[in-house]
């Protein structure tokens, strides 16, 4: 019997080292001066404060905000199309969009990539997307882990998880407690399906309809693959723009990232007792991708509204007095928004306005 080697078991350390050599440039482009470079180290280093007027935050009572998430079965679509440089954006978005719901400034991001076998090119594409997402979120990719597990994943399969850490001064923490009758509910558009409900999407599109990723969707002017892989929008910049403009007044009372559970369930999570959100279904246009999907699968309205974002990826509950000025700020910064409802007194709930 010959000698056993790690390579024979499915892990080639030489190829793994080639993968690791490709990643530092993708990390460095996300760094701010608050990152302490430690290439080859066992952890990432980040300064909470910084002795420079541009980066000095002068926190009075800083609270760290952390979140973790994955991309889900959207990864199956990435494999079908052999397009792997966008799902990393989804990964960052799913984590960062949760963290900013507390009013946090995203600080740094870590990724976990689990693969069946060493593949430097594939890993580079994946981390390129993560790097792009971090640049968009003003968040530094300071560390990560790549796990090669041939006995757990089939050849070519991989999975992603991400971890975001942010910070907010306690006096600016957004936890929904300030929400009150008279507040206005604003919606920020999504880019499409984002990264939720893909088990249902794949069942409808591939299993029920038998479509392929290269098939055209005329009403969307795109292929099936392009439609399904549209990256999740990252809302860090518009939210931070509003919060930085109102540094003294707390005008944003609640934030809800619209993921699984849809608008009703996610907005309800931020409402305090005694408040009720009345949402007007007619206040925004449902994106064509959702109409297309619903038609293909003959999906009921309530199922669509519970599984998908239906065209709104982030919801803000803001002071009624400042609602107009907040919308102007968003418009001036290149972001669309729409008034979708209001807060009234009543049992803690989210209802569709009659």
Walk me through the domains of the chain, giving residue ranges and CATH numbers.
13-172 (3.30.1330.10), 184-352 (3.90.650.10)
| Whole-Å CA distances, 142 to 19, 24, 127, 289, 328 | 17, 9, 12, 35, 35
Measure the CA–CA gap between 95 and 93, rounded to whole angstroms. Answer: 5
For β-strands 338-345 and 349-352, DSSP reports them as: unpaired
Q: What is the pTM of this model?
A: 0.95
Q: What pLDDT sits at residue 41?
A: 86
pLDDT in tens, 163-188: 999 999 999 999 999 999 999 999 99
Residue 303 has pLDDT above 80, yes or no: yes
57: pLDDT confidence band, cut at 50, 70 and 90?
confident
The pLDDT mean for the chain works out to 95
Measure the CA–CA gap between 354 and 342, rounded to whole angstroms. Answer: 13
pLDDT in tens, 69-98: 999 999 999 999 999 999 999 999 999 999
> Which residue intervals of 29-177 are DSSP H helices?
74-81, 87-99, 120-137
Which residue is it, tokens 């080697």?
5
Which residue is it, tokens 């007027």?
53
Residues 233-252, mean pLDDT to the nearest whole number? 95
pLDDT in tens, 130-169: 999 999 999 999 999 999 999 999 999 999 999 999 999 9
pLDDT in tens, 181-209: 999 999 999 999 999 999 999 999 999 99
Q: What pLDDT sits at residue 6?
A: 84
Measure the CA–CA gap between 87 and 72, rounded to whole angstroms. Answer: 10
Residue 321 has pLDDT above 70, yes or no: yes
């Amino acid at each position: 019997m010959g000698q056993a080697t790690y390579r024979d078991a499915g892990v080639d350390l030489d190829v793994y080292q080639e993968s690791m050599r490709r990643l530092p440039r993708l990390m460095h482009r996300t760094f701010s001066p608050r990152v302490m470079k430690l290439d080859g180290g066992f952890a990432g280093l980040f300064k909470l404060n910084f002795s420079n007027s541009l980066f000095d935050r002068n926190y009075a009572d800083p609270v760290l905000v952390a979140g973790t998430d994955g991309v889900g079965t959207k990864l199956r679509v990435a494999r079908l199309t052999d397009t792997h440089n966008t799902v990393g954006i989804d990964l960052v978005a799913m984590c960062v969009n949760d963290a900013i719901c507390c009013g946090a400034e995203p600080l740094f991001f870590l990724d976990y990539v689990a693969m069946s076998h060493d593949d430097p090119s594939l890993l580079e594409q994946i981390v390129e997307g993560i790097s792009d997402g971090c640049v968009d979120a003003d968040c530094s990719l300071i560390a990560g882990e790549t796990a090669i597990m041939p006995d757990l994943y089939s050849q070519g399969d991989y999975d992603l998880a991400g971890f975001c850490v942010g910070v907010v001064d306690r006096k600016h923490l957004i936890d929904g407690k300030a929400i009150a009758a008279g507040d206005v509910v604003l919606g920020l558009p999504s880019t499409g399906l984002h990264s939720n409900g893909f088990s249902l999407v794949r069942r409808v599109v591939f299993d029920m309809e038998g479509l392929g990723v290269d098939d055209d969707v005329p009403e969307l002017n795109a292929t099936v693959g392009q439609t399904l892989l549209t990256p999740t929008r990252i809302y860090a910049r518009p939210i931070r723009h509003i919060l930085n403009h109102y540094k003294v007044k707390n005008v944003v009372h609640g934030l809800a990232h619209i993921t699984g559970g849809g608008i009703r369930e996610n907005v309800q999570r931020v409402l305090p007792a005694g408040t009720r959100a009345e949402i007007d279904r007619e206040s925004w246009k449902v994106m064509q991708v959702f109409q297309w999907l619903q038609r293909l699968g003959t999906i009921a309205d309530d199922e669509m509204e519970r599984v998908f974002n239906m065209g709104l990826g982030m919801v803000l509950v803001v002071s009624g007095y400042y609602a107009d000025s907040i919308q102007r700020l968003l418009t001036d910064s290149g972001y669309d928004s729409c008034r979708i409802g209001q807060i009234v007194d009543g049992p803690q709930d989210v209802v569709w306005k009659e």
